[in-house]
């Protein structure tokens, strides 16, 4: 658990906050002192995340409550703009930390992958990151405030993976998007970095066959799959001023897999 409260003045927006890495990021940022806005397509799941931050008797987003919950589909431009408007109306400022964790898989080998499944994965995993990053950056620039934008990519975006043509393409796109955003926004005091998790124990990897998990685990130099908290640790560092001279980086959290 963090003790330095490096983010005590930060307002952090986290998408995909209802489970897995997104939930762990919310918990870690709150431990660091941040006010957390948890966003997910599943509003009830995001509400449960905020209960972990506020305590069981707190109503997320209620007057006097520190943290808040919003429901949004990050692949929809209007929904993302409405989300940022709600955040600013609630807190009278844009989020200074923005973490895009929302992501899905629709795995299939290239020869059988449907256009529908290609489109949906790119809509959430890449277009969603673009929309959230763009709207948050616009709000920060307009306010003259610095910020840290952190996009969750994947090691698969760097090395590819069988049966994940759409997912690998989307996550590779996140890396390129992040590096370009870093180049464009540095002069505004806004940093943008990506985090590349390897095989992490989340609801997403629970869908992977056990024999595949066993094979991959055997390839990890550290000998075990990571936890969402391992990724959240890196996100908290990138959100804080401890990483104040880091932008455009792609930080791998893989236990050494594919190095």
Write down the catalytic residue from 70, 118, 130, 167.
Answer: 167
- Is-catalytic flag, 224? no
d(C-alpha 245, C-alpha 238), whole Å: 10
Q: Output the DSSP codes for the chain.
A: ---S-TTTT-EEEEESTTSHHHHHHHHHHHHTT-EEEEEESSHHHHHHHHHHHH-TT--TTSTT-S-EEEE--TT-HHHHHHHHHHHHHHHSS--SEEEE-------B-GGG--HHHHHHHHIIIIIHHHHHHHHHHHHHHHHT--EEEEEE--THHHH--TTBHHHHHHHHHHHHHHHHHHHHHGGGTEEEEEEEE-SB-STTGGGS-HHHHHHHHHH-TTSS-B-HHHHHHHHHHHHSGGGTT--S-EEEESTTTT-
Nearest to 153 by CA among 187, 117, 119, 192: 192
Residue with tokens 């952090």: 12
d(C-alpha 48, C-alpha 220), whole Å: 32
Q: Which of the residues are catalytic? A: 167
């Amino acid at each position: 658990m963090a003790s330095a409260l490096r983010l005590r003045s930060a307002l952090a927006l986290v998408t995909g906050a209802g489970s897995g890495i997104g939930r762990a990021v919310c918990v870690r940022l709150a431990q660091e002192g941040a006010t957390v806005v948890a966003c997910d397509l599943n509003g009830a799941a995001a509400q449960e995340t905020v209960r972990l931050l506020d305590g069981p008797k707190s109503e997320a987003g209620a007057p006097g409550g520190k943290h808040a919950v919003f429901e949004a589909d990050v692949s929809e431009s209007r929904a993302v703009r409405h989300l940022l408007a709600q955040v600013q109306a609630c807190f009278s400022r844009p989020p200074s930390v923005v973490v895009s964790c929302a992501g899905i898989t629709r795995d299939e080998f290239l020869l059988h992958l449907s256009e529908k499944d290609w489109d949906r994965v790119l809509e959430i995993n890449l277009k969603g990151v673009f929309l959230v990053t763009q709207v948050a950056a616009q709000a920060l620039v307009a306010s003259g405030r610095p910020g840290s934008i952190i996009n969750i990519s994947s090691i698969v975006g760097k090395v590819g993976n069988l049966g994940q043509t759409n997912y690998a393409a989307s996550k590779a796109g996140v890396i390129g998007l992040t590096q370009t955003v870093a180049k464009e926004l540095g002069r505004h005091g806004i940093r943008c970095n990506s985090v590349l998790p390897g095989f992490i124990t989340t609801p997403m990897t629970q869908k992977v066959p056990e024999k595949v998990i066993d094979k991959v685990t055997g390839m990890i130099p550290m000998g075990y799959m990571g936890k969402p908290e391992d990724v959240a640790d890196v996100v908290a560092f990138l959100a804080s001023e401890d990483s104040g001279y880091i932008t455009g980086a792609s930080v791998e959290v893989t236990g050494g897999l594919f190095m």
